[in-house]
A and B are shown apart, each in its own frame.
Chain A
Amino acid sequence: MGLFRYTWKTFTRELVLLAAAAIWWVPFYFLVIGALKPQSEVYTTSASKLPSRLAWSNFSQAWAGTGGFTLGHSLKNSFVITVGSVLVLIAIGSISAYAISRQPKKLGTGLYLVFALGIIVPFQLGIIPTYVAMHHLHINTSYVGMILLHAGLLMPLSVFLYTGFVRTIPRDYEEAAYVDGAGRLLTFTRVVFPLLLPITATVAVLTGVIVWNDFFLQLIFLAGSENQTVPVAIYSFVGEYATNWSLIFATVILSIAPILLFYLFAQRQLIRGFTGGIKT
């Protein structure tokens, strides 16, 4: 096999695609060399120039964090808020989508449109009343508050994705379960939900990345609190008069590692979720 598995056509095609893919590595290049540069070189040399020596200490400094909270602490906060939000999005999104797609056509389409609207309307418009409401409920800096907020804002996306998938599942499975003596809940948990695994992976990754990377909401609600997340922690390196880019880059590398690992594991399910359908 080896090289001989290529024809000229496939070889050229693969070369072109690799070259195209390389474009996506350029920011990574800047990220990595920026993270390894001594702080003195960040402003004095060109951004693309390799560092004169590797400043590994940037990583330990980044890990130590700011404001008395380590990066580990912020990572834990990000993790709890992300996982919590994703679990709520999966649990409520899947069951809502199931209910919507099994309604009579008119009602189902109507409900579907209501959720679709939620994707379109910019949530930033309602951020002040939301903040005030959460403040009164004393949940504006808590895990629960952030999980509710993220889950609520991303629910339309979750329902939208699930509904499209549920519609491709033949009703026969549910009907078989009903005749087999299962109630609605058992039918959903044992028969329907397992069939939604591919789209569940898609929802988990898409919403997980959004929550993990969210800066706007987390800055507004969590800045300065002990529950601050990674993006907020990164922002704390941005000062009024000076910005420590080496530490920011080092923190970014440390914080994208977990999500990259998750993506690698869930990749296959993710693609299946996008392409739709189930294997019978």
Chain B
Amino acid sequence: MAEVAFRGAGKVYPDGTRAVTDMNLEIGDGEFMVFVGPSGCGKTTALRMTAGLEEITEGEIRIGERRVNDLNPQERDVAMVFQNYALYPHMSVADNIAFPLRAQRVAKPERRRRVEEVARLLDLTEHLRRRPRNLSGGQRQRVAMGRALIREPQVFLMDEPLSNLDAKLRVEMRGEIAALQQRLGVTTIYVTHDQVEAMTMGTRIAVMRKGVLQQEGEPYTLYDTPANLFVAEFIGSPPMNLFRARLDVDGGQPLLALGEQQIRLPGGYLEARVALGRRVGCEVAVGVRPEYLLDGATAAPQHPRVRARVRLVETLGPERQVHVRFPAAPVATEDVLEVVRDVDRGLAESLSEKAEQPHVRAVARFEPDAQVVVDELREIAVVPEKLRFFDLETGLAIS
């Protein structure tokens, strides 16, 4: 087991394409670090650089005490689970799992003992003689895990290992992998484009975009205080509600002017947020998580209210997600559009077209028994302490 450190690590392909830029990140011993980001953000490249499958063209990567830039994959003492598992199709499950030991010239009896041990751990004992093609997706996934585990490597590298499974199995395996990692305590780097996977599995998350590390931290830190608009939009499902507003002060009281309506902020709000205080009179991007847009009928009276028309109600059991037409202009900067584009290209286009409209779609979380009627004009309470502010030009958070 070991720490992994990226020090100014970068990757430029011979044709000049830049995949990773100046990545600085320290991953502690035994930590479960998740690299997350939309497709093409450089997360898999960063992982492959750690494995030794891609050359590190700038900076360095250290595993434990060793600088690994010039080491072959086999010298780095890492194990990797591939997206499509890469199980050797001509070998039985047992031979697949034993392959790393064979490469290390471990004697046959010892190999057999350890294969059986790993098979027990992963519930594969009865499948040891079968070929990978005769296994289900979940079983293949476990064989791939087994092949990684048997080495007892310093670092586990996992490249979207759950993306080929169906939704139910994915949730199940998510828990299993996280539990296994905790039990073994092996430093793990896990790559995914699914932010839910990142939030639920990682002890820390690194969000990447266009080869640049955007923010790293514990899942809730990223969720609650995103460093920029990209992270705000990317982390969380449904994502953070974003809209534009002008920060004003009226008779000593700060407020957000949305157009026809206002959100009145409590006294002392700007004093507690010095950088924001300097933006009075300017337009800023405002973000608020759905759970801080509440039902005006039941929310605490001190929270400011906004009237919005209900467009759609989704009943999810423990809550009702109420989609409203929020009376403020949308944020359609490139940061936001890129995330939206990754999910739905058409939506991104319509969002950029609607950039000048005076309303934006927002999601609020109501109590499960709240009475809501589609098309009614409803009061939405905003929790001012949970508003997050971003610069419209740079996309960076304003603290």
Q: Which residues of A contact B (CB under 8 A)?
A: 170, 172-173, 175-183, 186, 190-191, 194-195, 197, 278-280
Contacts and interface: CB of A to CB of B under 8 A. Distances in A.
B72 interface: yes
B269 interface: no
Contacts of B51: 175, 179
B82 A177 contact: no
A172, A179, A180, A278, most chain B CB atoms within 10 A: A179
Contacts of A182: 74, 99, 103
A197 B89 CA distance: 12
A26 B254 CA distance: 101
A9 to B, nearest CB: 35
A178 B73 contact: yes
A179 B78 contact: yes
Interface string B89-106: 111000000011011100
Interface of B: 51-53, 72-74, 78-80, 82, 84, 86-91, 99-100, 102-104, 132-133, 147, 151, 157
B310 to A, nearest CB: 49
A181 B74 contact: yes
Contact of A183 (B74, B91, B99, B132): B74
**Main DSSP-derived SS at the A contact region:** helix
B139 to A, nearest CB: 14
Contacts of B79: 179-180
Given A175-B80, A176-B88, A178-B72, 7 more contacts: A172-B84, A178-B53, A179-B51, A179-B73, A179-B157, A186-B103, A280-B87
B74 A178 contact: yes
Nearest to B144: A176
Nearest to A195: B90
Contact of B99 (A172, A175, A180, A278): A180
Nearest to A104: B14
Nearest to A180: B100
A175 B53 CA distance: 7
Contacts of A172: 82, 84, 86
A194 B87 CA distance: 13
18 contacts: A170-B84, A173-B86, A173-B88, A176-B80, A176-B86, A177-B88, A177-B99, A178-B74, A180-B79, A180-B147, A181-B104, A182-B103, A183-B103, A186-B103, A195-B90, A279-B133, A280-B84, A280-B133
Nearest to A191: B88
B32 to A, nearest CB: 19
- 7 smallest A-B Cβ distances: which pairs? A172-B86, A176-B86, A181-B103, A180-B100, A182-B103, A178-B73, A194-B90
A122 B72 CA distance: 44
A177 B100 CA distance: 8
Contacts of B86: 170, 172-173, 175-176
B161 to A, nearest CB: 13
A280 B132 contact: yes
A179 to B, nearest CB: 4
Contact of B89 (A175, A177, A180, A195): A195
Nearest to A197: B90
Contact of B151 (A180, A186, A194, A195): A180
Nearest to A181: B103
A181 B80 CA distance: 11
A212 B151 CA distance: 48
Contacts of B72: 178
Contacts of B104: 181
A176 B90 contact: no
A176 B82 contact: yes
Given A175-B82, A178-B53, A279 B74 contact: no
B89 A179 contact: no
A179 B53 contact: yes
Contacts of A173: 86, 88
A262 to B, nearest CB: 22
A166 to B, nearest CB: 15
A197 B104 CA distance: 25
Contacts of A190: 88, 99, 102
Residue among B78, B99, B102 with most chain A CB within 10 A:
B99
Given A179-B73, A180-B147, A278 B82 contact: no
B135 to A, nearest CB: 11
Nearest to B95: A190
Contacts of B133: 279-280
A278 to B, nearest CB: 6
A173 B74 CA distance: 14
Nearest to A280: B89
A277 to B, nearest CB: 11
Given A172-B84, A183-B74, A195-B89, A178 B100 contact: no
From B78, B90, B151, name the one whose CB has the most chain A CB atoms within 10 angstroms. Answer: B90
B203 to A, nearest CB: 23
B37 to A, nearest CB: 21
A179 B88 contact: no
A190 B89 CA distance: 11
Contacts of B52: 178-179
A155 B322 CA distance: 70
Contacts of A278: 89
B90 A179 contact: no
A183 B100 CA distance: 11
A179 B74 contact: yes
A103 B74 CA distance: 20
Contact of B80 (A179, A183, A191, A279): A179
